[in-house]
Amino acid sequence: MARAEAAPAPSSRAAAVRQRLMLTAEDTFAQVHDAAQRLRLERRMLDLLQGGMREVLVTSALVGPALVLWLTLPHIGVARALGPALALVLISLERVRFLRRMARERARRDDAPRRWARGLAWRVWLSGGVIALWCHFVIAIGTQELVSYLLALVTILAAGATAQFCSWPPVMWATISPLLLGMAVQLALSGAADHRVGAVFALFLWLVLGLAGLRFAQTLHNDMRTRLRNEDLLRELDRRRAQAEAAHMAKTRFFAAASHDLRQPLQALGLYLSVLEGRCDDVDTLARMDQCMGALDRLLAELLELSQLDAGQLECAPRPIALQPLLDRLASMYQAAARLKGLQLRVHPTAAWALSDPALLERALANLLANAIRYTSAGGVLLGVRAAGGADWRVCVFDTGIGIAQAEREAVFEEFVQLDNPERDPEQGSGLGLATVQRVAALLGHRTTLHSHVGRGSCFALQLPRAQPLADSQAGAPARAAITAPLHGRVLVVEDNAAARDALALLLRGWGLDVVTARDAAQAEEALAGPAPDAVLCDWRLPGPRDGLAVLREALRRHPALKLGALVTGENIETLRAQDAAFVLLRKPVRPLRLRALLASRLGHAAVGTP
């Protein structure tokens, strides 16, 4: 038969108790090996101790001395009762002074928590010694009833000290040891049998409270170490988040600031391509070059638009708008693309008015519509408006396309995500459309929703606040048409980029125009001093202190009969338009057809439409 496992020997239990009691001497903080972490832990524990000291000051300075006088004055005389009471008051006042000095110096430099804790330990030990002296007078002279009151009072003080000072065990021991051990020794030496029972009780209470305080201290220290680790993790998380945000903002600032430089070669390439169309017989190659040019133009425009949204460079100006003309305009823009794929593009009639920025809303809905047509191979696309409940409209784009699985619905709004284009075919888009929609909607304060069934289709929607119809509103946009008639007139081209300047000059001369070029504001002024130009095409960012707006204003001042002043830029059109509405704003890269239509209309030649 196997021998039963022996119970732990009494000596092992005693060793455990001794080890627990010696925890104070070994210092619980020594369990933290890292010096910096140990210092942080000591500071936090000293903060708790400092708070506990403030809470017991009222008891030490007022309640304690009052109880001393009330309980002992009739029994031990004025001198023996008043002496300890005054001593407690003086010690409490000195402790107040010490706590104030500690707070001031810790605010300047908090690198010695143990020194302050030792100072507090000496002061509470001194208070306990005064109370022990008072106990000696009471036990020697007082009645058994008074001794019982005294024992109860000491028990309350010791229990309170354990709760308040357990964050720093040496201070806790310095408080309860004079109270309980002093009481136990004096009761044991008094010789009375009843007092011996009280001595045993006081000794047992000292042991129990001490062990409980150490256990609480260990729990506090563990919790505080966990809190410090969490704070470190949060700081690291904040640091990494700040780095990510800084990198993100650097990217957006780069794209926003570099938009001018990125569009310059694209502008020149487009202009040279337009020149080649009248000189080259290889129509297929030119068509493919034009397709590549268009794809590059769209990708750059989407990237820059996304960067402007992220950088907060676009401003919205909500106003009441009729939704039906907007939907009709979008349908007319994409009808050819839908018909090319054999799709039916329909608009559900509506009389709804909503509050939004017309340009930004049209941009977002255009992206949704283009996306719906791109991913629909059969069936159709429907534009419509539904009541969203309350005071909102929901502008919906329905399609009968491939649908989107539940797990992929959040990912489709991220940059460069294309679920059905693993080969990254540029003809299927860049994957930035829905990301732009999400950011535009956030800028406008509109909610974006998506409902989809795989294999049946999807519904993307923007939720807009309702608006009251305006009395006189006009919708629609003028159509554009190609212009083939020769142009006549004098044009000043101000452009610092040589390639773009030469390409634009070559294109304009091919249209029959007399062209003068300048690279900066100084050369532009020299040109303006000569024959008056009919039109000035000026880049916004120029070398030197003056920009394109300054050049155009100077041209208008010198030649009030100027027929056209156009600012050509890749910057934020809305911001520039707000600066000066007297000039036409053209975003790079400018399409030659639009530029020719603009020149024809302003220089007085026949032209169908406006730019």
Chain segment 145-162, per-residue pLDDT in tens: 777 777 888 888 888 888
Of residues 532 and 283, more confidence is placed in: 532
Under CATH, what is the fold of the domain 261-313+484-611?
Rossmann fold (3.40.50)
Percent of the chain's residues with pLDDT above 70: 71
All residues at 6 or more sequence positions from 89 whose CB lies less than 8 Å from its CB, including other chains: 61, 65
Residue 345's H or E segment, with its range, is strand 344-347
**Could you tell me if 345 and 373 are in contact, meaning their C-beta atoms sit under 8 angstroms apart?**
yes
Task: Check residues 127 and 327 and name the one with the higher pLDDT.
Answer: 327
Q: Residue 570 pLDDT more than 80?
A: no
DSSP state letter for 609: B
Topology at the third CATH level for domain 319-418+430-465: Heat Shock Protein 90 (3.30.565)
- For 160-203, write each residue's pLDDT tens digit: 888 888 888 888 888 888 888 888 888 888 777 777 888 888 89
Does the pLDDT at position 11 exceed 80? no
Please tell me the distance from the alpha carbon of residue 576 to that of residue 110, in angstroms, as a whole number.
55
Each domain of the chain, given as residue ranges in start order, spans: 22-235, 261-313+484-611, 319-418+430-465
- How far apart, in whole angstroms, are the C-alpha atoms of residue 295 and residue 424? 13
Enter the pTM of the model: 0.41
pLDDT tens digits, one per residue of 469-519: 876 544 443 333 334 567 888 999 999 888 888 888 888 888 889 999 999
In this predicted structure, the answer to whether residue 593 has a pLDDT above a threshold of 90 is no
Give the H or E element holding residue 121: helix 113-141
Asked whether residue 413 carries a pLDDT value surpassing 80, the answer given is no
Residue 379 has pLDDT above 80, yes or no: yes
Which of 9-13, 323-327, 458-462 has the lowest average pLDDT? 9-13
Q: Nearest 10 degrees: CA dihedral of 375, 379, 384, 386?
A: -100
Give 11 or 359, the one with higher predicted confidence: 359
Count the residues in the chain: 611
* Long-range contacts formed by 66-73: CB under 8 A, 24+ apart: 67/153, 68/134, 71/138, 71/146, 71/149, 71/150, 71/153, 72/134, 72/137, 72/138, 72/142, 72/146
334 has a pLDDT exceeding 60: yes
The helix (H) or strand (E) run that includes residue 559 is none
Which of 346-350, 455-459, 516-520 shows the lowest per-residue confidence on average (mean pLDDT)? 455-459
What residue has token string 């919790």? 223
Residue-averaged pLDDT of the chain: 76
According to DSSP, the β-strands at 392-399 and 380-387 are antiparallel
DSSP state of 512: T
